[in-house]
Amino acid sequence: MIWEAGRPWAAGVVWIFWKREVLRYLRDRSQAFGGVSRTVLWLLILGYGLGASFRDIEGYTYAQYVFPGVMVLNVLFAGLQSAIVLVWDREVGLLREVLVSPAPMLAVSLGKLLGGATVAVVQGSIPLLFAPLVGVPFSLKGLILSWLVMFALGIMVTGFGIVLASRMRTFEGFGSISNGVIQPLYFLSGSIFPLKGVIGGVGFLDIPEALRLELERLGIHTIGGGWVVELPLWLKALVYANPVSYTLDLLRYVTLGYPQLPLGLNLSVAFLGPLLAAVGAAWAMEQMRRR
Amino acid sequence: MVAIRCTGLSRRFGSSVAVAGLDLEVEEGEFFALLGPNGAGKTTTLYMLITLLSPSEGEAYVLGRHVVREAEVVRRSIGIVFQDPVLDERLTAWENLEVHAVLYGLPLKVIRGAILEALAWASLEEVAHRPVRTFSGGMKRRLELARALMHKPRLLFLDEPTLGLDPQGRRQLWEKVQALRREGLTVFLTTHYLLEAEEADRVGILDRGRLVALGSPKELKRRVLGQEEGSLEEVFLALTGRGLRDGEATVRERFFSYRRRGGEHSR
């Protein structure tokens, strides 16, 4: 059979790299296990453990409050994992095969982004299985919207990870990704503590009835024995600077109907963030081709 | 036609010079072997020819195309087998070949046939659907060689292709390469196994980034040893000296030692 290697078909390249990410995920059970164990740790153990003290956050239990946060945590891990594989790929994996091929790197990075985001959505959906347990109402609309939000965050995180991976020269740096990137993004996103509002704590400290009524008039739900959250300014600044905060808030809105940040701002970050990250990732991968 | 032409090809890394002013021509259909001690610049030269490194100075043409300005055309017409396996170990042999077929823009309707042909050529039909991580070194090499030929390149680059293979694996690979040569494929080989180079049409010996000898194995023996008897190894040692060339650990070597220690995420 005789054929000529032609100009690679960009859509085919996107597809094959999407497929590669998904196949790699399906063949590595430890990643799914990580998703389940994180969910049990953060949603059930932390959720109910800490929930015994923080009994009420604006009418939600603590486990309900952290629920979207745990979804985000799984998305962060999955997205960065597929991106960081690049470092390994560059030295002993498939990357050199890709770099010497005539395929456009834009298509390669797009496939990788879509694949990483797909895996992120699957991983991020693991907490959804625990939704009835925690008392998060299920709705088809909520499910589809949360998939959309997680997909956007997945693209954002994978793209960011690709830029990061393309700058990494050593593998010893792998470990620091978890401690140095995933955890700060997670902790500083309003995932495990509320940004504002009233939370209920120990029962003996009652809010004066007058203040309670005043707050009700402003549309803030309070319970007896609650207090108003006031984050230190520096912490507030970090949370507001973290793009994950806005996506997480959007996810909390679609799963619980409880936003803490302006919806317009959330939507713009969820739309522009992935776009920017995708451009960055395509640029970073193009740079790898010629050193 | 000239398959490879380098004029004054140089590459620096910071202040160190890896390749210094290389002039070289390789004819189409030729089997050319580039020899040299560790760190002589063999891989750097090869990487410039396959468009993975940009030259600091000088020009290189592969099959008449400029390696920088016409990189995409060059990439389409060459096949490469790297020093160490460049495969996705979690994918099967079939899937690895499929990725290659798509990357090189093989028409959709021939992909299946091309994969089957490659698997048959590499005698890997039985294990086509097993993940590559279960393969031996020799099987991986055969798979990579079959993959490098899938898009019918006119020029095949082999970078120390027998590194880490046992004698059986090396012999098997070598028979495959010999068969390709008879079909008229141009082969550019870098190696430090001198026996492999004995069969080359021409040999170039690189030392410290400079070409110190160029010619057929016979010519070189006559010129350097004064007789056609003897081995290329004697020629090689006469030209490059007997001192050991210990360089720093490469990134890859450091990576493997990291993996052996069980470093995080290095699966």
**Residues on chain A touching B151 (C-beta within 8 angstroms):** 5
Query: B101-152, pLDDT tens digit by residue?
Result: 999 999 989 999 999 999 999 999 999 999 999 999 889 999 999 999 999 9
Q: What residues make up the domain containing B145?
A: 30-42+80-260
Q: Tell me the DSSP string of A78-90.
A: HHHHHHHHHHHHH
Closest CA to A224 of A59, A65, A66, A51: A59
User: Which of A20, A92, A175 is opposite residue B99, by nearest beta carbon?
Assistant: A20
Which helix (H) or strand (E) is B49 found in, with range?
Answer: helix B42-49
Q: What residues make up the domain containing A241?
A: 10-196+231-289
Confirm if B132 and B89 have CB atoms less than 8 A apart.
yes
Q: Which pLDDT belongs to residue A107?
A: 95
User: Which of A12, A16, A97 is opposite residue B86, by nearest beta carbon?
Assistant: A97
Q: Is residue A210 assigned to a domain?
A: no
Give the Cα separation of B92 and B72 in Å (integer).
28
Q: Is residue A151 assigned to a domain?
A: yes
Pairing outcome for strands B202-207 and B210-215: antiparallel
Decide if A20 and B88 are in contact by the 8 Å CB cutoff: yes
Confirm if A96 and B43 have CB atoms less than 8 A apart.
no
Give the Cα separation of B263 and A46 in Å (integer).
29
Q: Which pLDDT belongs to residue A222?
A: 59
Nearest-CA distance A40 → chain B (Å): 22
Q: Is residue A4 assigned to a domain?
A: no
Closest CA to B162 of B137, B184, B183: B137
Q: Is residue A86 assigned to a domain?
A: yes
Query: A248-286, pLDDT tens digit by residue?
Result: 999 999 999 999 999 999 999 999 999 999 999 999 999
Decide if A100 and B107 are in contact by the 8 Å CB cutoff: no
Closest CA to A228 of A191, A194, A263, A204: A194
Q: A116-139 burial string, b = 16+ CB within 10 Å, else e?
A: bbbbbbbbbbbbbebbeebebeee
The mean pLDDT of A137-142, rounded to a whole number, is 91
Q: Is residue A2 assigned to a domain?
A: no
The mean pLDDT of B180-186, rounded to a whole number, is 89
Q: Is residue B61 assigned to a domain?
A: no
Question: Is the entire prediction scored with pTM above 0.90?
Answer: no
Tell me the CATH number at B185.
3.40.50.300
pLDDT of A102 > 90? The answer is: yes
Decide if A9 and B85 are in contact by the 8 Å CB cutoff: no
Give the Cα separation of B51 and B53 in Å (integer).
6
Q: Is residue A106 assigned to a domain?
A: yes
Q: ipTM, 2 decimals?
A: 0.86
Residue A38 binned pLDDT confidence (cut-offs 50, 70, 90)? very high
Confirm if A35 and A77 have CB atoms less than 8 A apart.
yes
Give the Cα separation of B96 and B225 in Å (integer).
46
Q: Quote the number of domains for chain A.
A: 1
Q: Which pLDDT belongs to residue A2?
A: 43
Q: Is residue A120 assigned to a domain?
A: yes
Q: Is residue A148 assigned to a domain?
A: yes
Q: Is residue B189 assigned to a domain?
A: yes
Share of chain A above pLDDT 70, in %: 89
The 8-class DSSP code of residue B130 comes to: S
Strand pairing partners for B12? B17
Q: Quote the number of domains for chain B.
A: 1
Give the Cα separation of B58 and B44 in Å (integer).
14
Nearest-CA distance B167 → chain A (Å): 23
Q: Which pLDDT belongs to residue A204?
A: 47
